[in-house]
Amino acid sequence: MFDEDLLQTIIDQSKEWRELFGLNSEIHEAFTFLIDLVEKYQKNYSYEVDPDDPEIPEPKTK
């Protein structure tokens, strides 16, 4: 499992870097792919951790 803050940092930083390279570059496409991949991971494998129960649940999958 990845930390949600780390995943969000990857998305935010990738969006920033993507804009630096312009719309027609392969690097722009690579960052777009990375952002999509991380967002799909967040959507499909996110979970809520109950602070009263330290056991980490299994990730939800769709």
DSSP the chain: ---HHHHHHHHHHHHHHHHHT-TTSHHHHHHHHHHHHHHHHHHHH--PPPTT--PPPPPP--
Amino acid 44: pLDDT: 77
Amino acid 21: pLDDT: 74
The pTM (predicted TM-score) of the whole model is 0.55
Amino acid 55: pLDDT: 67
10-residue mean pLDDT series, the chain (62 residues)? 79 84 77 88 70 62 54
Amino acid 2: pLDDT: 67
Q: Which residues contact 24 (CB under 8 A, 6 or more apart)?
A: none
